[in-house]
């Protein structure tokens, strides 16, 4: 099912169907995806605002949170897009700082 050499990659399978998720206002569970730059977060946020699904406008938070925004998908899931967290693109720089 995977491309050659990627059989151990972690995969999310998000499919429409079933009941939509109805999260309470203070329920912060979400999917998170690291992006390569602050500009990439801004692009996602602008697209989400245009589509009416932006729930967390771009903001900076202290380490380890970084710069992020959040959108709500059609089934009610919150999805975070971030830059500057010690995971995903750029995480190697955080490993060097920790040493």
Q: 3.30.300.30, 3.10.180.10, 3.40.50.1820, 3.50.50.60: which CATH number matches 31-98?
A: 3.10.180.10
Per-residue pLDDT reduced to its tens digit, 5-50: 777 777 777 677 777 777 777 777 778 888 989 999 999 999 999 9
Alpha-carbon distance of 23 to 67, in angstroms, equals 23
What predicted TM-score, i.e. pTM, was given to this entire model? 0.72
Percent over 70 (pLDDT), the chain: 81
Structural domain spans, the chain: 31-98
32, 44 contact by CB (below 8 A): no
DSSP string, 43-89: HHHHHHHHHT-EEEEEEEETTTTEEEEEEE-TTS-EEEEEESSSSST
Residue in 11, 16, 13 with CA at minimum distance from that of residue 76: 16
69, 56 contact by CB (below 8 A): yes
| Whether residue 54 has pLDDT greater than 60 | yes
Mean pLDDT computed over every residue of the chain: 81
Secondary structure (3-state) at 38:
helix
């Amino acid at each position: 099912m995977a491309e050659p050499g990627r059989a151990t990659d972690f995969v999310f399978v998000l499919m429409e169907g079933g009941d939509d998720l109805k999260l309470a206002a203070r329920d912060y569970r979400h999917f998170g995806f690291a992006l390569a730059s602050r500009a990439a977060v801004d692009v996602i946020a602008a697209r989400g605002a245009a589509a009416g699904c932006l729930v967390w406008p771009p903001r900076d938070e202290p380490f380890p949170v970084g710069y992020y925004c959040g959108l709500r998908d059609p089934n009610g899931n919150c999805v975070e897009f971030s830059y500057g967290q010690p995971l995903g693109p750029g995480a190697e720089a955080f490993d060097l700082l920790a040493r």
